[in-house]
Each structure stands twice: as C-alpha cells, then as structure tokens.
C-alpha cells in the first residue's frame, strides 16, 4: 500500500497524509477570504481543510474535502496524492458508510461511531456543520452543546459531555473558525479550514447510499486490514 494512503496498524486507525478532493471553487495560495454566514442561516457547508488528530484508537493527519447539510447528511472524500480515491465516507440520517470504491466494499456504522473510526471523535454531521460555520443558534442547546463567546461575540469555545473545542483563529468577517482544537476522551487534535462555502446547491446524490447494494459489506476490522495492505 502507498505510504500516503490510509492504513491501520494493530487496530489503530491511521489516515496518514491523505489528500482529499478540493471542491475546486478556490485555488491554493490566494489570500485568506472574508467569510460572513448568510443572515438567513446556514443549512450546508462545503469546503477543504486539514486535520491532525491523535489518540488511543485513531490518528488522522491529512487534507480533506467535505460537505455537510442539515439534517444529518455529510460526505468526506479522501484521495491519494495522484487524485485517486482512497476512501469515501457518506452520512445519511442514522446510517454512515466507509467505502472503498476500488474494492467495491464498505463498512457501516452509526454516524457518531463512524466519525470516531476515522477521526477519533464521536461527532455527527450536524455537529461538524456547527463547528465549521461558527453560526450557532440558541436552539443548539438542544443538541447538548454549551458554548462561550469572546469579547467580539464570536463562539470561541464549546463543550458537550466529554467533547470540547476551542477556536484558535477566525477567518476575517463574522466569527467563522479557521482553526480549532478538538478534544475527546481518547483523542485530541487540530482542524484547520482552508476553503469554505455556505449553502452550496443541494446535491442529493452526494449522500445517496443506494449504490451499496452492489458492494460487499465488511466489518470495520476487515476494512482496516484492506487499508493496511
């Protein structure tokens, strides 16, 4: 297996130096954009970033592209440095699938469990949307999050049970996180957003799991062994 492809070592998930699809709407090297969430609200985000997470059960380091849409929808695509798909993770409601298209196999878990498999932190797609856009509603307390604002009124910290985040840097504009630290019971790390777009046009096919009927279902351990090869 390529050094830059996802691998698993003795049950520990390691996504190493994985380059994920950049959605193509901004080129690297441009100045940091000013970001202001729409006044009408954020229902979806799409973007490109990096993550460095280490913990007892998972270690992730690499680039990624993402799209998250309320309620409960998400997609993360991982590519090797040559643009070939290494993995795809699709979240749709109560289902989440880690897919290896090249082998036509997948593993399925609940969303929080699957996020923990490759990121090390048990978050939902809606959690990720909240963290990425920085536009927290008063009703977000229903999801169990407690947030703190800085002197500028921006959400700078938050926690829920044994999960916590702290924003280290904001994009110019209106409180959109550019870099944040994430902490869980067994993992900690950093998330940095390179490109972000609010409310992109809906693409229902991005979250469709119908294609899994043509794929073989595997356990996570079996998928991990394939990644290790």
Judge whether 125 and 206 are in contact, CB under 8 Å: no
Give the position of tokens 């979250």. 207
Check residue 119 and give left, alpha or beta (phi > 0: left; psi -120 to 50: alpha).
Answer: alpha
Range with lowest mean pLDDT among 11-15, 21-25, 155-159, 174-178? 21-25
Convert 207-220 to b/e letters by CB count within 10 Å (16 or more is b): bebeebeebeebeb
Cα–Cα distance for residue pair 16/18, rounded to 1 Å: 5
- Decide if pLDDT at 3 tops 80: no
| pLDDT tens readout for residues 46-102 | 998 888 888 766 656 778 889 999 999 999 987 667 656 678 999 999 999 999 998
Q: How far from 133 is each of 154, 155, 169, CA to CA, in Å?
A: 11, 10, 13
Q: Let me know how long the chain is.
A: 229
Counts of helices then strands in the chain (DSSP H, E): 3, 14
DSSP characters over 115-167: HHHHHSS---HHHHHHHHH----GGGGGGT-EEEE-TTS-EEEEEETTEEEEE
Query: What tokens were used for 197?
Result: 């777009």
Can you tell me the mean pLDDT for 27-38? Answer: 76
What is the predicted pLDDT for the residue at 79? 64
Architecture of domain 7-228: Clam (2.50)
Three-state secondary structure call for residue 58? strand
What is the predicted pLDDT for the residue at 14? 41
What is the predicted pLDDT for the residue at 142? 57
- Decide if pLDDT at 204 tops 60: yes
- Decide if pLDDT at 17 tops 90: no
Percent of the chain with pLDDT over 90: 56
- Decide if pLDDT at 110 tops 50: yes
| pLDDT tens readout for residues 161-198 | 999 999 999 999 989 999 999 999 888 999 999 999 99
Cα–Cα distance for residue pair 162/221, rounded to 1 Å: 26
Indicate the DSSP class of residue 11. T
Could you give the maximum distance between any two Cα atoms of the chain, in Å? 53
- Decide if pLDDT at 222 tops 90: yes
Does this model's pTM top 0.95? My answer is no
Q: Which of 185, 192, 143 is nearest to 167 (CA)?
A: 192
pLDDT band, residue 1 (cuts 50/70/90): very low
Can you tell me the mean pLDDT for 123-143? Answer: 82
């Amino acid at each position: 297996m390529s050094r830059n492809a996802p691998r698993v070592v003795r049950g520990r998930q390691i996504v190493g130096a994985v380059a994920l699809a950049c959605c193509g709407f901004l080129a690297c090297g441009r100045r940091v954009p000013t970001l202001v969430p729409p006044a009408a609200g954020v229902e979806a985000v799409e973007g490109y970033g990096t993550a460095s997470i280490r913990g007892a059960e998972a270690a992730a380091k690499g680039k990624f592209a993402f799209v998250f849409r309320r309620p409960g929808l998400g997609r993360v695509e991982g590519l090797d440095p040559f643009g070939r798909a290494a993995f795809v993770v699709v979240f749709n409601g109560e289902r989440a699938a880690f897919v290896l298209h090249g082998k036509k196999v997948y593993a399925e878990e609940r969303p929080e469990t699957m996020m923990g498999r490759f990121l090390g932190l048990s978050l939902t797609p809606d959690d990720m949307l909240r963290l990425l856009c920085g536009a927290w509603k008063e009703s977000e307390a229903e999801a169990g999050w407690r947030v703190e604002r800085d002197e500028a009124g921006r959400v700078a910290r938050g926690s829920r049970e044994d999960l916590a985040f702290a924003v280290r840097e904001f994009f110019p504009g209106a409180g959109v996180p550019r870099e944040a630290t994430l902490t869980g019971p067994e993992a900690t790390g950093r998330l940095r957003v390179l490109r972000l777009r609010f409310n992109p046009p809906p693409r229902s096919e991005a979250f469709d799991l119908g294609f899994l009927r043509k794929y073989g279902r595997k356990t996570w351990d079996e998928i991990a062994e394939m990644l290790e090869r």
